[in-house]
A and B are shown apart, each in its own frame.
Chain A
Amino acid sequence: MQGETPRSPLKGLRKRWHESALLRQLMWEYRRPIAIGLLTLVIVDILEVIPPILLKHAVDVVVERKPLEEIWWMAAAYFFITLIQGFCRYGWRRYLLRSSFFAGQDLRNRFSKHLFSLSPSFFDRKRLGDLMSLSSNDVEAVRAALGSGLLVAADALFYFVSVPVAMLILSPQLTLLAFLPLPLIPWLVARNERLIHQRFEKVQQSFGKLSALAQETLTGVRVIKAFAAEPGQLERFRKAGQEYMDLNMSFARVQSSFGPLLDFTMSLGLVALLWVGGHHALGGTETLGTFVAFQRYIQKMVWPMAAVGMAVSFYQRGVASSRRLQDVFDEKSEILEAPDFSQSELNHAPGPRAIQGEIEFRNLSFRYSGSEENALDRVSLVIPAKARVAFVGAVGSGKSTLLSLIPRLYPAFDGSIFLDGRDLNQYRLSELRKNIGFVGQDLFLFSETVDQNLGWGLDEVPARSALLKLSERVALDGEIERLPQGFATLLGERGVNLSGGQRQRLTIARAIARSPAILILDDALSAVDTRTESRLLGELRSREHRCTELIAAHRISSIQEADWIVVLDRGRLIQQGTHQQLISEAGGLYRDFYDQQKLEEELAHYGERADQAPIAPGV
């Protein structure tokens, strides 16, 4: 798409047009309330022209001794107009601003919906903070452009059309005079916008620096204290604070002088009016009332002048944010659903348990996008249904990668992974995943209750008996009951924090709750003690619906009971066999691994003994 754009003078304009696509789209969707809002706004602005005329007439009645009752009419008309204006002011807020909030809601919905459709590689690339800032700041900027931005722009426009017209009708000569300082204003606004923008950037940068420095000083507080180096840090912070302050002041000089300068520029019109208009009134060329009306009109023109500048900056920010959001909307998941024919084929297949769980890797190689190295290198392996296979290897050996390809978290090439003899990529994603229980290393639990977390993969929270059975299977029985509210205990930030072992067992329970055909435990037992671990692994085997189990682990106790053990190194399959076969291979990676584990266990065991009988230290 980028390469195809022709190099032409239209390019910039076309780019803008493309960037604001989201903004225009939303505007179109909300055209009705926006139109109503703008209509009420027009009424307010047109009516705004009348009060000065009424005041003019009132003054003229007084000065020129017209019939007294006209004053009553003027008063009544004045009241009537403000009454309508009040209703209309309510109207444009309600229609224009409110619909902008609905548009913001829409946009946030769309954004989040899109996020849910993106694959893990996207989230590997993006930082949480950036995505959050898109959903809050950028959506808000687009919303503000639609709401306040449109409002301010329309308001300014209507004022420019209505007020000067009224003035011209009253007195063309005075109008010219009053607008004498007018050309100054666009210049003032433009200059102000430019300076504000430049200086605000600098203030923001400096604020970022100051925050980073505070962050650094507070996270490095141990080092600073260890060297008694506090004064140096404080001096740095003082300097950065001083710089921030100076930049703020230079920003304030522009910002706080803009309003008064604008006022002053318009008041030059008032000075001219007082002098020349006063002369006219004095000489009787104009009525005193006209003079009074002009005073009001000129003051009314200050706002629309300022509004032009505001509208421009609302719009610019809105377009910039709409572009950033569009970039995310343009992202596509790298996991693609198979073409329709296979879906229909799957629909004819009997229930979800139809998957048996036989897995075959056929010369599988995989490389993460952006990486130069193969994470997996020509791995071939057949795992019979209902077997337990353990994967062993150092960090970075490719165990996790291999396991994460099975639920298609990352895309594998066609023809490299087969499930029950059928290419994995031919399954419908949701059907495939519903048949796989995957427990990764990150142990993510949601800040909801325990039973809601356990029922995460089910359509509803399981019954209490099912919950109890489930917690028994993962050797969690008793522990959940001891939590403050049992299964109804809230987890996470605002609730209870579980230990690593408890979290691991909960995530396993969550995975087996929906009886998957394949269970994958990626280093999911590391924080569970050996006794609990062997109980849990035993429970998994004795289940009536036994499934294919793929277990990656560091601990020998998790592994040795497996039907088959696979040793990976740098993405390659280097050893495989049963535990007995592998430890007899002297000099093999598995044998070293086994020896190391045994010693570590002994050491830990030593600790337990030492606890019971403390050795008196001799001094």
Chain B
Amino acid sequence: MSIMQAIICGVIYWLAEANLPFVGLWTLQRPLVCGFLTGCVLGDPVSGAVIGGTINLVYLGFISAGGSMPADMALAGVLGVSYAIVGGLDANTALAIAVPLGLLGTIVWYLRMTIDSVFVHMGDKWVAQGKFKKLYLSNVILPQIFSAVICVIPCFLAAYFGADYIQSFIDLCAGKPLQIFQIIGGMMPALGIAITLQYIFKGEARIFLFLGFMIATCFGLTLVQQGIIGLIAALIYIQVTDNNKTTGIPAASSQAAVGAVAKDYDPDED
């Protein structure tokens, strides 16, 4: 890996991590996408997408809510793909190496969330002085420069120096250890699926997990075909049950919240 390639890997990580929504957040942060771009940089886009996609299975339903970040999937994607391409690893081994790296990456997120408060106070000052245009400086430019520093440098170092060692590390692991990596990598996607199930494996939808499992076991469809069957099943189910008054998952919380709003809401304002 050349120095330039390693720097671009760092830049991809920064764009993915720094929540610029038009490139990051919901798109580039996913290992499927940032792995694909890392693959482009290293001259093997297809491997990048395949390995990134495999790593992404672990992070399917990862939720970052209220400023928490359970794992840094962007770092796992960029470093996992670059190590895999440089070291010639298969997807499951890359997955087993990338996931622990993703846990380390959360440090970057928490550092950023903490330090960014400094820029808010600059914003406060400029707003009080009526210099609203400077919000671009305090809300975008300065925090993003800071993010770039804490993202690009560690990721560049890890990509550049890590890749040197990955080959000898894998040679060292030949045989049983490598097989264990593959076993672990094969199990990891269960975590991503289980996290997603926390949100959708509820009430009447539960049985459809087993229906989907049986359909896939018996017929071996592609997931897109299975998704279309799932969509039709959902529509049929809702049409059939439509007459019954149904209460769904977030009903309780939204009702309570509406109640809270109603308290503050003054009808005389109309």
Partners in one complex: no
> Residues on A close to B: CB < 8 A?
none
